[in-house]
Amino acid sequence: MRFMRNACKNYVKIAVLAEMVACLLTASSVSIAAQEVPTNPDSPATEYVQMYIDGEEYRGRSVLYEDTTYVNLAEFAEQMRPSRMAWNRETAAASVWGEEFDISVTDGASYICANGRYLWCPAGVFAGEGYAYVPLRAAAKIFGADVAWNADEFAAYVTGGDTILPSGEAFYDEGDLYWLSRIIFAEAGVEPFEGQIAVGNVVLNRVRSPQFPDTIYGVIFDRAYGVQFTPTVNGAIYCSPDAEAIIAAKLCLEGYTLSEGILYFLNPVLSTNFWVPNNRDYVMTIAGHDFYS
């Protein structure tokens, strides 16, 4: 069990994008496109993009990275609500907080934690002393704002922002989180983080499918056509999940999915029953698991 807890820590994807704040922008320079931001030599060039909040020109920094608009989290939060920021060198984590919100991001992570909720960031988050860059849509969701992209103007428009993201305690059903995190850990505790997400997707896709029970617990312990998940018979389902499996479960419960069609998975090396590959359509492989629709 200790091996499982430690091994899965080594697989979290870490994107590299450094020193995005090396060049301070003035209000006039924000609108200049195709400027290269000083970055790590291995990271791609980025472009500055124009941004508006409720019709007024955004006063902070915004850039395009991997077709995603990124904002400096502290600047964006301050424009939405009064806020403060702190940097933890030991954990490479930035915190931004205000009267009704508490946000934390870790450099290289693939998610934001806001009020105990976890928001997926496919291209990663980038943080250092004095800055943290996050996807605009994720940042806007924290403040209840909407985002629209105007390709002709190469500009992002943010509207609203009158509500704060409800807390994790209010949003996540305790029973659903309990069982989903346990099946993720039992089935994919040594898999890459995306592999853990995919296992959670399989469970939730089954909940939505008329072919399976309509609850997470019901899907996991389904016996209609035999044992569906081995951990329910070998006892692994009752092992306490680690922090990463819990985060993966929360991201799945937030609605993040790698595929809405996957309903089955197996390890082709360890499996002794090949009904799934013989009867279902292959979708993808993540580390040791093959996934099927």
Please provide residue 188's backbone torsions phi and psi, each rounded to the nearest 5 degrees.
-140, 25
pLDDT, residue 229, reads: 96
Counting as low any pLDDT under 70, the low residues of the chain are 1-46
How far is the CA of 9 from the CAs of 86, 90, 242, in angstroms?
25, 17, 10
278's tokens: 């013989």
pLDDT, residue 72, reads: 93
pLDDT, residue 35, reads: 32
Q: Can you list the domains of the chain with their CATH numbers?
A: 13-166 (3.30.457.10), 172-292 (1.10.10.2520)
Q: Inter-axis angle of helices 193-208 and 243-253, to 10 degrees?
A: 40
pLDDT, residue 13, reads: 29
State if pTM tops 0.85. Answer: no
Asked if residue 191 lies in contact with residue 265, where contact means CB atoms within 8 angstroms, the answer is no
How far is the CA of 39 from the CAs of 42, 47, 88, in angstroms?
8, 12, 22
User: Which DSSP state fits 21?
Assistant: T
Asked if residue 151 lies in contact with residue 49, where contact means CB atoms within 8 angstroms, the answer is no
E strand or H helix at 290: strand 289-292
- CA–CA separation, 220 and 62 (whole Å): 43
Asked if residue 256 lies in contact with residue 204, where contact means CB atoms within 8 angstroms, the answer is no
pLDDT, residue 271, reads: 86
Other beta carbons less than 10 A from residue 243's beta carbon: 11
Nearest Cα neighbor of 251 from 102, 96, 111, 101 is 111
